[in-house]
């Protein structure tokens, strides 16, 4: 493979992008950019996978398992290899010495080739992501395709930069006055820790999976991919591509392997504490994330867990823009993003806007109207909402209307193509945010728990100061992937920044256009901060990659 | 203070040094470099501290405690403030916002000013380190002075580099085809995590303490320094200098504070789990290091624990140089370094040397003779050995001769100036390294435990291959800060490197001159690898600093 000629410019551009944090992406967002026949080819390739065995030719395969059902209704009918870890893990370890010896640049270029081949099949991946996560097609295409690939490439760039901070060799000469200097020849080798375990999630199998997968692989580790049992296909396809590229580049394909589980088997718990597993990446529930951190003590553990995202509404000079921006954020993928706002804090006495004063009740009603308007047309609603990913989300949605006064009721949206899809517009509930309801450490109002799905709370607080204090309490105790805020006051803006700096939360201010609080761009925006309970790592920064390998020094007398 | 003019060039040189890893230090090693009156001034300053109260003007002081006794005999008679953490910790938190707002460069320059003032008082620090650690004066001077300051500065350089990888601000413009681009203005702020706890050790209070202290301070955290109760003074002096510099630079002096304990109080355990403590640096026993990792879950925990260091002797073309180099390594500071070799593995059938074949017994006898020769003169022995740091070391030394055939017996060395000092030459014991004695997972021969102090084992192995396998087993299960080896075989050299790369150990090959396996140079050598059980972090690399702060992003519509 002509890896250097083909991919070194991409690596260099990625390195420049993470340094400047300007906009950059090598992966086109528009489906048309992939060629005229790509849509039909992608769909056909996806359909061809259905009702087949997805063979990966992995060591230790002791059976087949499957059972994915699309949130849009159809059973996928795909069976995946089930592995005996006592056979598979030693086989994965076998190739790590050669992978280490290849060095950071070759590893980066091989990773970029994997990403390039995935990119070329983005239409096929889009269908796989759509029919496992329930995302609408365009979102599955973009978030599951180019945006996920961007995050993978970003991790590769950080991994390369981190491993090459120390030179491969150095001559060291220490003066000794009139005597000869002391002289040593030193070599420095970035060595992976062993096998990394990437535990995928249901909603964003590629987007949340690629950073850990590529960060570990690029730093010299083998990677065992354990997908969510409802979202195996996109990661199985990824593993297959990775194995093909590794083999073609002369490495052991077993450096990347898939681990699927039989119903109820719970292999993540077993694999996570195996001594061979030295790194774990996980996106999912707080309960299992905390369990991993407490129990997988032999591994570096990177977790993204539950959080409660807040939007503080203090004042705005673009009321209409604010409403439409928030309405989109609350609707996209039925609020099933870890970055979707949940609590909209509005002062009880109302807010100042360019359209005059608006009471709390008016803000709630106007926001409800904005969501209704956005989702009034069924075709548009389907394109934005996607399907509910699982019955738990539906149950939470249905229970939410009992929590308080409903500002906006959820409605069923029929899907023209997939009658089995569960498509629902979001519910919006008005709740009381009086200080006495949340300031005691034991207080547990509904808005202080994550209610994952298309549920938001418009919370009446006594003042903007109270909103800031509730924001601080929420981030500190519950964690947050995002914070949004609207204010025209410099003082309030500064106070918001202070809270976010103190509690380590990522803040989006006064978004009224086509950028949304729940979206981040690789190479520029950090996803999470790693400094509050929602996640112990950010995507991507130095800390995300620097402990996946160690630098081993050999020094010799010169 | 003219911080930029004075210290920016030093920071730039440090940044260049960690990039090239060539030799560099701004802190002279030679006592004479500090001026003609410095030795007398330093001694006088140290003496003036004795039998006084060491006041730091800290909030929450609720009493005084002390009781250090020099390993050389004298009681220091110094009392230190004892703090109420419920008062001190909130006071330390108060200054962190201003410290964060100062930015990475100002923080780095303030840290360098602290180090410069410590450097100017190196003679005084040398006495303080000598009379708490038991190091001989010259070693206390060098390791406790310039080498410790180098490691502190190295941490400052890594911290600065890591915090400035992301720009302070960026403009982001995403093309939208024919529509206007999406545009955002983004700011990125490095924000410390809160309060860091640095738990000092008895043997190297400054050398092992400065990296964590300065890494945390330079990344925007407050730092609470909890010294070992037998080695308070060097760190109390450090805290005092830091508080003075912080105040003069316009920051809250409470950003650095001292926590001492009353006998038996065990405050490290209490402080370590306080919610305000977000970072912990610790050097000491494996038992307490493991406890911290398991229990201080609210904090990032960096530990250096016990390990078993090995030297593999396969062959040499400079037998005399090898023996004298090893003799020095085994003698320096009575083997009370975490980097001192413990197990010297020698094939039972002997080794090839430039002086012909040497049997295992001959190698043991020749090494014993080299140590005896090195330490035959009492003045030289005192200058190399220093004093035993505590009664536990003496007890281990005395017990060691019962473990096997004694190749070299320990002898008492009288100290001309301090008759109360416990000075002993090392003991060397011959042990059987047959495979059956160590290859079962339950096998626990003496050489597979750390025997901290002036004790080494010359272990007879069946072959060099066995030596490599025992090395691998030792590093993997027990950890190692250092590995040494002597071989003239390219093949063996490659095999040694493979073991060290696989198990993440730092390897010194064929050292026969004035560089020793137990010494590392800041800016060039890594101390530990962070990848085996002896330590979960290396001094210093990106991973040592990158999780002490988080980057908080604020984005606004442009």
B499 lies in a domain? yes
Q: Do B279 and B328 lie in a common domain?
A: no
Q: Do A440 and A475 lie in a common domain?
A: yes
Note the pLDDT tens digit of each residue in B189-216: 999 999 999 999 999 999 999 999 999 9
In a 3-state reduction of DSSP, which class is residue A319?
Answer: helix
Q: Do A332 and A198 lie in a common domain?
A: no
Mean pLDDT for chain A overall: 97
Which of B170, B511, B538 lies at the smallest CB-CB distance from A550? Answer: B538
Banded pLDDT at B444 (limits 50, 70, 90): confident
User: What span, in angstroms and rounded, lies between the C-alpha atoms of A434 and A18?
Assistant: 42
User: What span, in angstroms and rounded, lies between the C-alpha atoms of A41 and B453?
Assistant: 70
Q: DSSP character for B426?
A: P
Note the pLDDT tens digit of each residue in B522-547: 999 999 999 999 999 999 999 999 99
Q: Taking CA atoms, what residue in B is nearest to A96? A: B502
Q: Taking CA atoms, what residue in B is nearest to A173? A: B23
Which residues of A fall within a CB distance of 8 Å from B556?
Answer: 508-510
Distance from CA of B555 to the nearest CA of A (A): 5
Give just the sign of the alpha carbon dihedral B509, B515, B519, B522: negative
Alpha helices (runs of H) in B302-359, residue ranges in sequence order: 319-331
Yes or no, beta carbons of B23 and A172 under 8 Å apart: yes
Which of A176, A498, A553 lies at the smallest CB-CB distance from B526? Answer: A553
Distance from CA of A422 to the nearest CA of B (A): 32
The pLDDT assigned to B442 comes to: 81
Yes or no, beta carbons of A507 and B552 under 8 Å apart: yes
Note the pLDDT tens digit of each residue in A508-522: 999 999 999 999 999
Yes or no, beta carbons of B547 and A543 under 8 Å apart: yes
Distance from CA of B163 to the nearest CA of A (A): 10
Yes or no, beta carbons of A526 and B173 under 8 Å apart: no
- Across A6-17, average pLDDT: 97
Q: Taking CA atoms, what residue in A is nearest to B293? A: A297
The pLDDT assigned to B441 comes to: 77
Q: Do B280 and B353 lie in a common domain?
A: no
User: What span, in angstroms and rounded, lies between the C-alpha atoms of A508 and A518?
Assistant: 9
Q: Do A281 and A376 lie in a common domain?
A: no
The pLDDT assigned to A558 comes to: 80
User: What span, in angstroms and rounded, lies between the C-alpha atoms of A469 and A502?
Assistant: 12
CB atoms under 10 Å from CB of B476, counted, come to 17
Length reported for chain B: 558
User: What span, in angstroms and rounded, lies between the C-alpha atoms of A491 and A464?
Assistant: 11
The pLDDT assigned to A442 comes to: 81
Mean pLDDT for chain B overall: 97
Q: Which of A465, A481, A509 is the last residue of a domain?
A: A509
b/e burial code for range A312-328 (CB count within 10 A of at least 16 → b):
bbbbbebbebbbbbbbb
Q: Residue B119: how many CA atoms within 13 Å on its side-chain side?
A: 21
The pLDDT assigned to A447 comes to: 97
Distance from CA of B67 to the nearest CA of A (A): 38
Which two tokens mark A285?
């529930």
Banded pLDDT at B32 (limits 50, 70, 90): very high
Which residues of A fall within a CB distance of 8 Å from B100?
Answer: 501
Which two tokens mark A197?
């375990």
Which of A173, A297, A500 lies at the smallest CB-CB distance from B23? Answer: A173
User: What span, in angstroms and rounded, lies between the C-alpha atoms of B451 and B431?
Assistant: 14
Q: Taking CA atoms, what residue in B is nearest to A514? A: B182
b/e burial code for range A96-134 (CB count within 10 A of at least 16 → b):
bbebbebebbbbbbbbbbbbbbbbebbbbbbbbbbbbbb
- Quote the distance between the C-alpha of residue B428 and its chain's center: 25
Q: Taking CA atoms, what residue in A is nearest to B15? A: A165
- Across A253-264, average pLDDT: 96
Containing structural domain, residue B388 = 310-509
B542 lies in a domain? yes
What string of H, E and C letters represents the secondary structure of A107-173? HHHHHHHHHHHHHHCHHHHHHHHHHHHCCCHHHHHHHHCHHHHHHHHHHHHHHHHHHCCCCCEEEEE
Q: DSSP character for A419?
A: T
Residue A293, pLDDT > 80, answer yes
Q: Taking CA atoms, what residue in B is nearest to A547? A: B543
- Across B282-308, average pLDDT: 96
Yes or no, beta carbons of B507 and A554 under 8 Å apart: yes
A96 lies in a domain? yes
Which two tokens mark A106?
């070759």
In A284-330, beta strands by DSSP E:
300-304, 310-313
Q: Do B258 and B351 lie in a common domain?
A: no
Q: Identify the CATH number of the domain in which residue A420 sits.
A: 3.40.309.10
Burial class (CB in 10 A: 0-12, 13-18, 19+), B548: buried
Note the pLDDT tens digit of each residue in A345-395: 999 999 999 999 999 999 999 999 999 999 999 999 999 999 999 999 999
In B359-515, beta strands by DSSP E:
405-408, 427-432, 455-461, 483-486, 507-509
Beta carbons within 8 Å of A114's beta carbon, 6+ residues apart: A214, A238, A241, A242, A245, A246
The pLDDT assigned to B443 comes to: 79
The pLDDT assigned to A341 comes to: 98
The pLDDT assigned to A1 comes to: 73
Q: Identify the CATH number of the domain in which residue A243 sits.
A: 3.40.605.10
- Across A526-543, average pLDDT: 97
Q: Which of B489, B509, B529 is the last residue of a domain?
A: B509
The CA radius of gyration of chain A, in Å to the nearest whole number, is 25
* Ramachandran region, residue A523 (left: φ > 0; alpha: ψ -120 to 50; beta: rest): left
Q: Do A316 and A240 lie in a common domain?
A: no
User: What span, in angstroms and rounded, lies between the C-alpha atoms of B350 and B371?
Assistant: 20
Q: Do A252 and A329 lie in a common domain?
A: no
Percent of chain B with pLDDT over 70: 100
Question: Which residue is associated with the tokens 């990848």?
Answer: B531
Which of A167, A191, A542 lies at the smallest CB-CB distance from B501? Answer: A191
Q: Which of A305, A335, A358 is the last residue of a domain?
A: A305
Specify the higher pLDDT residue, A4 or B442.
A4
What does each C-alpha distance from A8 to A107, A108, A154, A238 come to in angstroms? 11, 9, 14, 22
The pLDDT assigned to B231 comes to: 98
Which residues of B fall within a CB distance of 8 Å from A500?
Answer: 552, 554
Yes or no, beta carbons of A513 and B188 under 8 Å apart: no
Note the pLDDT tens digit of each residue in A441-470: 787 899 999 999 999 999 999 999 999 999
Which residues of B fall within a CB distance of 8 Å from A511?
Answer: 555, 557
Note the pLDDT tens digit of each residue in B139-182: 999 999 999 999 999 999 999 999 999 999 999 999 999 999 99
Note the pLDDT tens digit of each residue in B323-365: 999 999 999 999 999 999 999 999 999 999 999 999 999 999 9
- Across A480-507, average pLDDT: 98
Instruction: Report the domain count for chain B.
Output: 2
Yes or no, beta carbons of A500 and B554 under 8 Å apart: yes
- Quote the distance between the C-alpha of residue A477 and its chain's center: 21
Q: Do A324 and A260 lie in a common domain?
A: no
Which two tokens mark B80?
């230190």
Note the pLDDT tens digit of each residue in A146-205: 999 999 999 999 999 999 999 999 999 999 999 999 999 999 999 999 999 999 999 999
User: What span, in angstroms and rounded, lies between the C-alpha atoms of A194 and B531?
Assistant: 10
User: What span, in angstroms and rounded, lies between the C-alpha atoms of B158 and B163?
Assistant: 9
Q: Do A238 and A386 lie in a common domain?
A: no
Q: Taking CA atoms, what residue in B is nearest to A182? A: B514
Give just the sign of the alpha carbon dihedral B522, B528, B530, B534: negative
Which of A170, A538, A556 lies at the smallest CB-CB distance from B22? Answer: A170
- Across B475-494, average pLDDT: 98
Which two tokens mark A346?
């509005």
Strands B356-358 and B351-353: antiparallel
The pLDDT assigned to A2 comes to: 86
Residue B304, pLDDT > 90, answer yes
- Across B72-77, average pLDDT: 98
Q: Do A255 and A274 lie in a common domain?
A: yes
A381 lies in a domain? yes
Cβ-contact A114, A239 below 8 angstroms: no
B533 lies in a domain? no
Note the pLDDT tens digit of each residue in A134-150: 999 999 999 999 999 99
B521 lies in a domain? no
A46 lies in a domain? yes
Q: Do A389 and A489 lie in a common domain?
A: yes
A525 lies in a domain? no
- Across A394-406, average pLDDT: 97
User: What span, in angstroms and rounded, lies between the C-alpha atoms of A468 and A462?
Assistant: 11
Residue A545, pLDDT > 80, answer yes
Note the pLDDT tens digit of each residue in B358-387: 999 999 999 999 999 999 999 999 999 999
Which of A166, A172, A293 lies at the smallest CB-CB distance from B22? Answer: A172
Q: Residue B362: how many CA atoms within 13 Å on its side-chain side?
A: 12
Note the pLDDT tens digit of each residue in A58-69: 999 999 999 999
Which residues of B fall within a CB distance of 8 Å from A508?
Answer: 554-556
Yes or no, beta carbons of B511 and A557 under 8 Å apart: yes
């Amino acid at each position: 493979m002509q890896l250097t000629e083909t991919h070194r410019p991409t690596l260099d551009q990625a390195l420049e992008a993470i340094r400047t944090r300007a906009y950059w992406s090598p992966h086109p967002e528009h489906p048309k950019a992939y060629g005229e026949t790509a849509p039909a080819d992608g769909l056909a390739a996806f359909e061809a996978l259905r009702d087949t065995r997805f063979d990966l030719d992995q060591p230790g395969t002791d059976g087949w398992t499957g059972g994915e059902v699309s949130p849009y209704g159809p059973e996928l009918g795909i069976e995946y290899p089930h592995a005996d870890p006592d056979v598979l893990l030693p086989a994965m370890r076998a190739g790590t010495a050669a992978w280490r010896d290849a060095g950071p640049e070759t590893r980066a270029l091989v990773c970029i080739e994997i990403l390039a081949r995935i990119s070329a099949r983005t239409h096929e991946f889009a269908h796989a992501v759509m029919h496992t996560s329930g995302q609408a097609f365009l979102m599955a295409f973009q978030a599951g395709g180019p945006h996920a690939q961007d995050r993978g490439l970003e991790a590769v760039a950080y991994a390369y930069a981190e491993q090459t901070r120390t030179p491969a060799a150095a001559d060291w000469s220490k003066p000794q006055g009139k005597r000869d200097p002391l002289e040593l020849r030193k070599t420095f080798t970035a060595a992976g820790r062993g096998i990394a375990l990437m535990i995928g999630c249901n909603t964003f199998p590629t987007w949340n999976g690629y950073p850990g997968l590529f960060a570990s692989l690029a730093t010299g580790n083998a990677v065992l991919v354990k997908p969510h049992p409802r979202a195996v296909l996109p990661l199985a396809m990824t593993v297959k591509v990775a194995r093909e590229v590794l083999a073609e580049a002369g490495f052991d394909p077993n450096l990347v392997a898939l681990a699927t589980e039989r119903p109820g088997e719970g292999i993540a718990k077993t694999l996570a504490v195996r001594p061979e597993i030295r790194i774990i990446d996980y996106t999912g529930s707080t309960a299992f994330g905390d369990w991993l951190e407490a129990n997988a003590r032999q591994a570096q553990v990177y977790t993204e867990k539950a959080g409660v995202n807040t939007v503080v509404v203090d004042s705005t000079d673009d009321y209409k823009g604010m409403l439409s921006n928030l309405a989109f954020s609350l609707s996209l993928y039925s609020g099933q993003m870890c970055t979707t706002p949940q609590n909209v804090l509005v002062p009880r006495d109302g807010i100042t806007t360019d359209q005059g004063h608006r009471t709390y009740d008016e803000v709630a009603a106007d926001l409800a109207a904005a969501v209704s308007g956005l989702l009034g047309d069924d075709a548009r609603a389907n394109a934005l909402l996607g399907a509910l990913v699982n019955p738990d989300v539906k149950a939470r949605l249905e229970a939410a209307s009992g929590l308080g006064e409903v500002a906006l009721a959820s409605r069923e949206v029929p899907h023209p193509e997939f009658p089995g899809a569960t498509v629902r517009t979001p519910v919006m509930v008005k709740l009381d945010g009086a200080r006495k309801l949340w300031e005691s450490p034991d207080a547990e109002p509904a808005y202080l728990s994550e209610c994952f799905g298309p549920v938001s709370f418009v919370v009446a607080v006594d003042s903007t100061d109270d909103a800031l204090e509730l924001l601080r309490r929420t981030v500190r105790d519950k964690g947050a992937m995002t914070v949004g805020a609207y204010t025209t006051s410099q003082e309030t803006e500064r106070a918001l920044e202070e809270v976010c700096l103190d509690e380590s939360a990522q803040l989006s201010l006064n978004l009224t256009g086509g950028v949304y609080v729940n979206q981040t761009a690789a190479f520029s925006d950090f996803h999470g901060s790693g400094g509050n309970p929602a996640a112990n790592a950010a995507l991507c920064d130095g800390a995300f990659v620097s402990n996946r390998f160690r630098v081993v020094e050999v020094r010799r007398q010169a």
